[in-house]
Amino acid sequence: MLFYPLLTMISRLEKDSIGMAARVKNYFKTHKITLARRVVQILVLLGITAPFWTYFFGSSAGVIEPMFRYLPFISAPQSEMSNSGGFLELILGSVVGRVFPFLLIGLLFMITLVFGRASCGWLCPAGLFQDITGWAGEVGNVRRDMGKNGHEFLRKVKNWILIILVIILLPALFALSDDFYTDYTQTVLGDFGKNPLGFWSLDQFLSVFIPDFLVATADGGLDEFFSGVRIAQLLFYFVIIILTFYFPRFYCRYFCPYAAVSKPISHYSILTLSRNPAKCVGRKECGMCESVCPMQIRILDENFAKISGEGECILCGRCKETCPYDAIEVSAFSRRV
């Protein structure tokens, strides 16, 4: 009798451990894509921040940084942790330097035409940050879908940002005289010409603004650190980050200039997702794929052969691993693979 409570407790612990092991096994089985994506995202993050780890640990980790120096998504070339720049940043920088970036535009076009916006879903550090905040929002049960009208309106904002950037920078490219070019770049563009994407880059805010802010705080130099632009940037991204808890990938959806460039090409990408009409039961009976999509794509309104969302799909694969009917498939040239 004395041992009965102990045996009962051991038996219960054993059942709980078996149940926990089964849940863990089931999670790994049903979230293979997400787990693979997290590994890739973390490796890329470690690669582009290798100089920081070299300095911190006094090791030779910095030798791997050049492998990640120029990737399509990065737009934080001023970061002391990562001396790199994305295609769009380099393209705009070439425009300011009066060089038409034929090669860079061609590379951006070809990579996006093949892989779509997979770099947004699998590589982008800002995307990883938003995935974490989006997960926290799901755990806290605060995730929401943007209203249809608001979603359609906000999706255009990133296009307007890109158009404004191009309009401001183009006079430098087509300047006919050296005097006009000098006056325009120094008087009109100023520091903006040196870093056109600086204000609109969440990558740069996380990897440049925040570290500089912490250093200024530690040194007691906040009065010198803050300017009108920096105050506006701090407030802007504070709101953006809060909203990413409620609306997954909020910045990617509505404000990222790289997304504005890549989405029209991504709409015709070779690598894509498709929906098997023989397996999909539709929105009324299921609709789980739409409920988990971080880009709020109306997947069940898309063509069966290609899930694009007008180029907004980031190939994260959440719809595929969530579908209980295994109706979402990876495709190439509109053929399932």
Residue 19 has pLDDT above 60, yes or no: no
Report the pLDDT value the prediction gives residue 48, as an integer from 0 to 100: 72
Q: How confident is the model at residue 3 (pLDDT cuts 50, 70, 90)?
A: low
- Measured CA to CA, the distance from residue 7 to residue 94 in angstroms comes to 73
Residue 74 has pLDDT above 70, yes or no: no
Domain 270-337 fold = Alpha-Beta Plaits (3.30.70)
CA geometry: angle 41, 294, 37, nearest 5 deg: 20
169-187 per-position pLDDT tens digit: 999 999 888 999 999 998 8
Q: Comparing 3-17, 139-153, 258-272, 285-299, which segment has the lowest mean pLDDT?
A: 3-17
pLDDT at position 60: 58
Query: Domain-by-domain residue ranges, the chain?
Result: 16-68, 72-266, 270-337
Lowest-confidence segment of 80-84, 212-216, 225-229 by average pLDDT = 80-84
Between 19 and 281, the more confident residue is: 281
pLDDT at 92: 86
The confidence band for 81, taking pLDDT boundaries of 50, 70 and 90, is: very low
Which pLDDT band, with edges at 50, 70 and 90, does 25 fall under? Answer: very low
What is the predicted pLDDT for the residue at 219? Answer: 81
- Give the mean pLDDT of 143-153: 92
pLDDT at 82 over 50: no
Q: Which residues of 233-247 are buried (b: 16+ CB within 10 A; e: fewer)?
A: beeebeebbebbbbb
Q: Tally helices (H) and strands (E) across the chain.
A: 19, 3
> What pLDDT sits at residue 91?
86
- Asked if residue 135 has pLDDT above 90, the reply is yes
Q: Which residue has the higher pLDDT, 182 or 228?
A: 182
Question: Which comes out higher in pLDDT, residue 258 or 20?
Answer: 258
Confidence band for 314, pLDDT divided at 50, 70 and 90: very high
Angle at 298 between CA 294 and CA 302, to 5 degrees: 125
* Arithmetic mean of pLDDT over the chain: 83
Number of Cβ atoms within 10 Å of the Cβ of 226: 14
Mean pLDDT of all residues in 16-23: 54
pLDDT, residue 317, reads 94
Q: Containing H/E element for 110?
A: helix 102-115
Mean pLDDT of 104-121: 92
Report the amino acid identity of residue 97: G
pLDDT of res. 4: 60
Q: What is the pTM of this model?
A: 0.84
**Percent of the residues in the chain that have a pLDDT greater than 90, as a whole number:** 51
Among all chains, which residue has been given the structure tokens 């980790």? 61
